[in-house]
Amino acid sequence: MSDRREKNAPGAGEEEAVYYLTDERGKEYPFELLDVIDYQGGKYAVFFPLDEGQEDSEDSEAVILRAFPREDGTVEFDGEDDEDIIDDVFAIFMKNMRAAFDAEDFS
């Protein structure tokens, strides 16, 4: 899945940001946007695959894609080949998640 584009974003008041990402064959897949990370001059989106109509699978993993804003206002997402960048972005994501849960626990 190398060519991925934003197709649908949440409206005001929606709890989760669901994006439909399209693969190189034109097949769409729903993903929940969990976080956007600024890292080394780039923006990386952390997505979780959604299987509409079914419970979350224990086999599902977060997907990290680099975001490329386009002139028409949409965003194109593409995979990152550098495993070190993926690891670093994921570590930042996990730190953000821990901080968010810790803040909620003591509010």
pLDDT, position 12: 42
Q: Is the pLDDT of residue 2 over 60?
A: no
pLDDT, position 99: 82
Q: Is the pLDDT of residue 11 over 70?
A: no
Residue 60 CA neighbour count, 13 Å, CB half: 13
In this structure, the number of other CB atoms found within 10 A of the CB of residue 93 comes to 19
d(CA 11, CA 15): 9
Rounded to 10 degrees, the C-alpha dihedral 71/72/75/78 comes to: -70
